[in-house]
Amino acid sequence: MDEDAFNMSVRKFLKKVGITAQREIEQAVRQAAAGGTLKGGTPLAAKATFTVGGLNLTFDVTGEVETG
């Protein structure tokens, strides 16, 4: 296995995940704030679940998103 190619592939995937997740979270928070269903300063529990096919690997990453 080419370790450098593997490492770059994982990083590229994670960058895509990060950009997509940030965009979706920001959009949802703005809509909720505009609709009055979210109060500023309320931390939001967040969880991302990753599944890697062919490896029988599934894991969660949890945290909080601060809204201001």
Query: Does pLDDT of 45 surpass 90?
Result: yes
Q: Are 67 and 40 in contact (CB under 8 A)?
A: yes
Q: Residue 29 has what DSSP assignment?
A: H
In this predicted model, what pLDDT tens digit does every residue of 4-21 receive, in sequence order?
Answer: 999 999 999 999 999 999
Q: What pLDDT, on a 0 to 100 scale, did the predictor assign at position 41?
A: 86
Domain boundaries, the chain: 3-65
Please tell me whether residue 1 adopts helix, strand or coil conformation.
coil
Q: How far is CA 4 from the centre of its chain?
A: 24
Residue 39: band (very low, low, confident or very high) from pLDDT cuts 50, 70, 90? confident
| CA dist list (Å): 29 to 8, 34, 60, 62 | 31, 8, 22, 18
Q: Is the pLDDT of residue 56 over 90?
A: yes
Report the pLDDT averaged over residues 25-31. Answer: 95
Banded pLDDT at 44 (limits 50, 70, 90):
very high
